[in-house]
Amino acid sequence: MPTIREVAAHAGVSPATVSRVMKGEVPVSADTRARVEVAISAMGYAPNAFARSLASNRLEGVGLVISHLAGPFMGRVMMTLEATLRRANVSLLVASGGGEAAREQEAVNFLLGRRCDGLIVHADALSDETLTALATTTPLVVFNRRVPDIDAHCISLDNEYGGYLATRHLLDQGHQSIACLTGPLRQQDAAERLAGYQRALHERGIPVDEQAIIEGDFTEQGGEQGMMTLLAREMAVTAVVAGNDDMALGAMTILRARGVAVPRAMSLVGYDNEACARHVVPALTTVHAPLEEMAQAAAERLLKLIAGASLPASTPFMPTLIERETVGPWRT
């Protein structure tokens, strides 16, 4: 693999000139440029990324910190991130932190030690303060979360609206008594979805019954537990909005076991539009997040941030309702 000095010798110019040609910015006369370009392609020259990074102190790569790599949509997100970044010739380094704050912090440090040009963080466990501090140090985009003081760094989903959408859909079908199986309420997304649920009820003048709100943990077991608790309370509930699809799936398992027909006796709405949602029987009505667009926006925003731009806050992305088979009309 030839070095820049060999190329320079071959083209009869200095290494500095070759470097200038490679970057294409600084003024170089047309014929010198041509001569160098010929030498470059003749010798198959590709600059050494290390030397370049050392001299310029930039990696030309960004880090991705992820809580749950194995989560149901990380694949879709990463796919788009990677494609968008690679188009800009920026590589993607991945570190995961299994949802524990300490390990997530460690992942951040690991990537920072690699002198990433920027970071995309998709993590629950890191605190708002940590992220705010990080944003002052390094180009940062926070994925699927809003951190108040650094709006411009956040790519988020309007979870409140999603919760509202799901609930309103049930109300529109005539349901009056609707329960909510939430995720862990210390997590922002779970709390927001619940808020949307409450807003929809208020809007129709239906009082929120605390007994109908059950906090879970976004897992399938949590959904089962929650549904069992709900049934045990023997309320007149005719529909449930679940914190996410996993919980909805768990709930469906219990309903099936107890012989409660979905959607005839009980309607159900999920959230996330996982791959499974389409396949269950009956197919799950759910709220869809435009993950690909969000991922692309995240990558583009980070690239701009790295380039030194100062951006306005991004508007949250809007979820949409996917109607399938788990919601039916209710006539009192």
Partner DNA sequence: GGCGTCCATGAAACCGGTTTCATGATGGCG
Partner DNA sequence: CGCCATCATGAAACCGGTTTCATGGACGCC
What are the residues binding its own copies (CB under 8 A)? 46, 48-51, 53-54, 57, 59, 61, 69-72, 74-76, 78-79, 82-83, 86, 91-96, 107, 110-111, 113-115, 249, 256, 274-276, 279-281
The smaller minimum CB distance to DNA, of residues 28 and 231, is found at 28
Strand-pair partners of 91: 61
- Cβ atoms of 156 and 144 closer than 8 Å: yes
3-class state of residue 142 by DSSP: strand
Residue 286's binding partner out of its own copies, DNA, none, with CB under 5 to 8 Å set by partner kind: none
Q: Is the dihedral of CA 158, 163, 166, 171 positive or negative?
A: negative
Residue 16's binding partner out of its own copies, DNA, none, with CB under 5 to 8 Å set by partner kind: DNA
Cα–Cα distances (Å) from 306 to 155, 216, 303, in that order, read: 16, 39, 5
Nearest-10 Cα torsion for 187, 192, 193, 198: 130
Q: What is the 3-state secondary structure (H, E, C) of 13-40?
A: CCHHHHHHHHHCCCCCCHHHHHHHHHHH
The smaller minimum CB distance to DNA, of residues 7 and 294, is found at 7
Binding positions for DNA, rule: CB under 7 A: 1, 3-5, 12-20, 22-23, 26-29, 31-33, 45, 47-48, 51-52, 54-57
Task: Locate 157 and state its tokens.
Answer: 């989903």
Shortest Å, Cβ 123 to its own copies: 14
Shortest Å, Cβ 133 to DNA: 22
Nearest to 191 by CA among 143, 254, 133, 146: 146
Shortest Å, Cβ 17 to DNA: 4
Q: What type of residue is 154?
A: C
The smaller minimum CB distance to DNA, of residues 205 and 308, is found at 308
Shortest Å, Cβ 117 to its own copies: 12
Q: Give the C-alpha separation, 120 to 141, whole Å.
A: 5
Phi, psi of 164 (to 5 degrees): -65, -50
Shortest Å, Cβ 109 to its own copies: 9
The smaller minimum CB distance to DNA, of residues 17 and 244, is found at 17
Q: Give the C-alpha separation, 57 to 47, whole Å.
A: 15
The smaller minimum CB distance to DNA, of residues 5 and 87, is found at 5
The smaller minimum CB distance to DNA, of residues 47 and 99, is found at 47
Shortest Å, Cβ 110 to DNA: 16
